[in-house]
Amino acid sequence: MATADIQATETVPWWRGAAIYQVYPRSFADGNGDGIGDLAGIRQRLPYLAELGVDAVWMSPWYPSPMADAGYDIADFRDIDPVFGTLAEAELLIKEAHDLNIRIIVDVVPNHCSDAHPWFVEALAAGPGSPQRQRFWFRAGRGPTGDTPPTDLQSIFGGPAWTRVTEPDGSPGEWYLHLFAPQQPDFNWEHRAVWAEFDDILRFWFDRGVDGIRIDSAAVLIKEPLPRDEASYTDRDEVHQVYRAWRRISDSYPDERILIGEVWLPDPARFARYLRPDELHTAFNFAFLNCPWDAAEMRRCVDETIFAHAPVGAPPTWVLSNHDVTRHVTRYGRQNTSFSFETRVEGVPLDLALGERRARAAILLTLALPGAAYLYQGEELGLAEVEDIPLDRRTDPMFSRSGGSNPGRDGCRVPLPWSGTRQPFGFSPDDAETRSWLPQPAAWASRTVQAQTGDPGSMLELYRAALRIRRAESALGDGAIRWIDAGEGTLAFTRDPGFTCVVNLSSGAVALPEHMKILLASGSTANRLLPKDSAAWLRTR
Ligand code: NOJ
Ligand code: CA
């Protein structure tokens, strides 16, 4: 009887408790000195990610793209944009990551493509009524001359969700639907060719060894023929058929290949439907990211999350930041600590020291909760939102399409500081002549990987220590929690065997139990007192 067999069957699948690091390729590391991050830069820094202790890396889109939405407007789903490198480099990157025990997840965007995608170019050329147009949502306009959009639907980035095209003969023509920017036409998922195309794209990347697919805008693929309002495209039942088909594809590979949904839905029960055993493996828990820094709200969010996931048997996930939201050091340093796209603002009074203290506590909470955790590049350096990017250097369509009323997402996408005391802080090679695509704050001199390495009080060393313990502790990752009553304003829970996490969100210090060993703390634990806005990991001696 092979012992190895027994172990293999008892092992928890890697993704149920993984710490997954999001790389935003444009801003991670620039290998060739043009001021834009690339695959050469990522490959050079893979040892950094291995040392940090993450299990997998999710790559935001790296495909050929006109970059109208930073690569979420894809012109070719099976290649790499030249600004990032080549497909051969991507294959090397996957292999090198695997050699370091890091899994790779790629981002697939099934809701839309770029207006430079060959299908859309063909659709424009083929004209009204053509089969080529049926792969998208082309409709005639309203009014005698058709110059009013087919419906009043607004795009998620602001402005109408319809754009009128000029027909091949030069006349004003049909309109096409785009839930996001006009450069991102929506696919028509009622067309079999769209299904077949994405089946093939999934296989293309799985065949290249990727371990998972992050599915962009996963809940909005299916539309009514004439979308009238938001309710007509969000979370329609038919979308689950897509993910059942995708699960059959991922399950056809002998090892675990996973599907991760970007599912923004307020109702936890509707959210959990995406995680039924024959659909997606996991999905981002945005409720946690939206949750204010408040003990009762946090506890409710954790409970609701665990409660919603239990019936479908999926592990919860925990997310504090990503490339779309205000960095959490900044959120937690404000009076209003929750996040919403609608109220995203800059220049709100901010206590960065407070934000950082809470962020340190929050990561210990996040990494102690059951399930998988997502980390966004730069949070391990304690980077704050950059709120003073000159307006003429902002690239995000959320900024331009809102007429500037929404500051956009550039502030959480600023290139990482690696080393040195001046811009570009090692993001580009020393001899690079081009400035980085977004400016970095001068104050990041103290935030570089180099400056934080070896400093026991740094955010980076806290992440390294926490991830190291998380790997070593069988209690962490997938599993269950049990709350302990630790008084109002304090979250405390145990994880078997023998692990306890205490997070103090109250207004005073909390005494840590005498009989336990302190494994790690986000701040001082002098006299076994845990100050407010801090957290500790404890173990039964
Ligand atoms: C969600 C992505 O995270 C975001 O960055 C993008 O703009 C939209 N989907 C559209 O693809
Ligand atoms: Ca570059």
Q: Of 422, 452, 482, at which residue does a domain stop?
A: 452
Q: Strand 103-108 to strand 212-215: parallel, antiparallel, or no bridges (unpaired)?
A: parallel
Q: Strand 258-261 to strand 282-283: parallel, antiparallel, or no bridges (unpaired)?
A: parallel
Phi and psi torsions of 210, nearest 5°: -70, 150
**Do 378 and 293 fall within a single domain?**
yes
pLDDT (0 to 100) of residue 9: 47
Kindly report the CATH number assigned to the domain that includes residue 59: 3.20.20.80
How many structural domains are present in the chain?
2
**Do 300 and 366 fall within a single domain?**
yes
**Do 202 and 219 fall within a single domain?**
yes
Residue 217 alpha carbon to ligand 1 centre in Å: 7
Instruction: Spell out the per-residue pLDDT of the chain, length 541, in tens.
Output: 333 443 444 589 999 999 999 999 999 999 999 999 999 999 999 999 999 999 999 999 999 999 999 999 999 999 999 999 999 999 999 999 999 999 999 999 999 999 999 999 999 999 999 999 999 999 999 999 999 999 999 999 999 999 999 999 999 999 999 999 999 999 999 999 999 999 999 999 999 999 999 999 999 999 986 766 555 899 999 999 999 999 999 999 999 999 999 999 999 999 999 999 999 999 999 999 999 999 999 999 999 999 999 999 999 999 999 999 999 999 999 999 999 888 888 999 999 999 999 999 999 999 999 999 999 999 999 999 999 999 999 999 999 999 999 999 999 999 999 999 999 999 999 888 889 999 999 999 999 999 999 999 999 999 999 999 999 999 999 999 999 999 999 999 999 999 999 999 999 999 999 999 999 999 999 999 999 999 999 999 7
Closest CA to ligand 1's atom 10: 72
pLDDT (0 to 100) of residue 427: 98
pLDDT (0 to 100) of residue 231: 58
**Do 303 and 372 fall within a single domain?**
yes
Residue 31 alpha carbon to ligand 2 centre in Å: 5
* Ligand lying closest to the C-alpha of residue 32: 2
Asked if the structure places residue 509 within a domain, the reply is no
**Do 53 and 95 fall within a single domain?**
yes
CB 401 within 8 A of CB 181: yes
Where in the sequence is the domain holding 124, given as residue range(s)? 118-177
Structure tokens given for 433: 């002549």
Asked if the structure places residue 511 within a domain, the reply is no
Asked if the structure places residue 294 within a domain, the reply is yes
Q: Which atom of ligand 1 is nearest to the CA of 322?
A: 3
Site to probe by mutation for ligand 1, drawn from 60, 106, 108, 109 as the one with most ligand atoms within 8 Å of Cβ, is 109
Site to probe by mutation for ligand 1, drawn from 155, 180, 322 as the one with most ligand atoms within 8 Å of Cβ, is 180
**Do 127 and 106 fall within a single domain?**
no
CA-closest candidate to residue 405, choices 345, 465, 360: 345
Q: Which residues pair with 212 in a beta bridge?
A: 105, 258
Tens of pLDDT, residue by residue over 58-82, are 999 999 999 999 999 999 999 999 9
Kindly report the CATH number assigned to the domain that includes residue 172: 3.90.400.10
CB 440 within 8 A of CB 425: yes
**Do 197 and 229 fall within a single domain?**
yes
Q: Which atom of ligand 1 is nearest to the CA of 69?
A: 7
**Do 132 and 88 fall within a single domain?**
no
Tens of pLDDT, residue by residue over 277-323, are 999 999 999 999 999 999 999 999 999 999 999 999 999 999 999 99
DSSP 16: G
* Ligand lying closest to the C-alpha of residue 24: 1
Q: How far is CA 470 from CA 8, 100, 467, 537, in A?
A: 21, 18, 5, 10
Residue 183 alpha carbon to ligand 1 centre in Å: 13
Percent of the chain past pLDDT 90, that is, above it, reads 93
Q: Strand 172-177 to strand 138-139: parallel, antiparallel, or no bridges (unpaired)?
A: antiparallel
How far apart (Å, rounded) are the C-alpha atoms in residues 380 and 460? 5
**Do 134 and 232 fall within a single domain?**
no
**Do 90 and 133 fall within a single domain?**
no
Q: Of 127, 151, 177, at which residue does a domain stop?
A: 177
Q: Is 465 exposed, middle or buried (0-12, 13-18, 19+ CB in 10 A)?
A: middle
Q: Of 152, 177, 202, at which residue does a domain stop?
A: 177
CB 249 within 8 A of CB 197: no
* Ligand lying closest to the C-alpha of residue 264: 1
pLDDT (0 to 100) of residue 413: 98
Closest CA to ligand 1's atom 4: 324
- In SS3 terms, 44-65 reads as HCHHHHHHHCCCEEEECCCCCC
CA-closest candidate to residue 359, choices 471, 538, 523, 483: 523
List ligand 1's pocket residues with C-beta within 6 A.
69, 72, 109, 180, 216-217, 262, 323-324
CB 22 within 8 A of CB 374: yes
Asked if the structure places residue 1 within a domain, the reply is no
**Do 165 and 275 fall within a single domain?**
no
How far apart (Å, rounded) are the C-alpha atoms in residues 292 and 340? 11
- In SS3 terms, 282-339 reads as EECCHHHHHCCCCHHHHHHHHHHHHHHHHHHCCCCEEECCCCCCCCHHHHHCCCCCCC
Q: Which atom of ligand 1 is nearest to the CA of 179?
A: 10
The number of C-alpha atoms within 13 Å of 531 and in the hemisphere containing its C-beta is: 9
Asked if the structure places residue 207 within a domain, the reply is yes
How far apart (Å, rounded) are the C-alpha atoms in residues 114 and 118? 9
Asked if the structure places residue 158 within a domain, the reply is yes
Residue 1: CB atoms within 10 A of its CB come to 5
Residue 39 alpha carbon to ligand 2 centre in Å: 8
**Do 427 and 356 fall within a single domain?**
yes
pLDDT (0 to 100) of residue 164: 98
Closest CA to ligand 1's atom 2: 216
Altogether, the residues listed in the chain come to a count of: 541
CB 62 within 8 A of CB 76: no
Tens of pLDDT, residue by residue over 112-121, are 999 999 999 9
Asked if the structure places residue 315 within a domain, the reply is yes
Asked if the structure places residue 400 within a domain, the reply is yes
How far apart (Å, rounded) are the C-alpha atoms in residues 109 and 214? 8
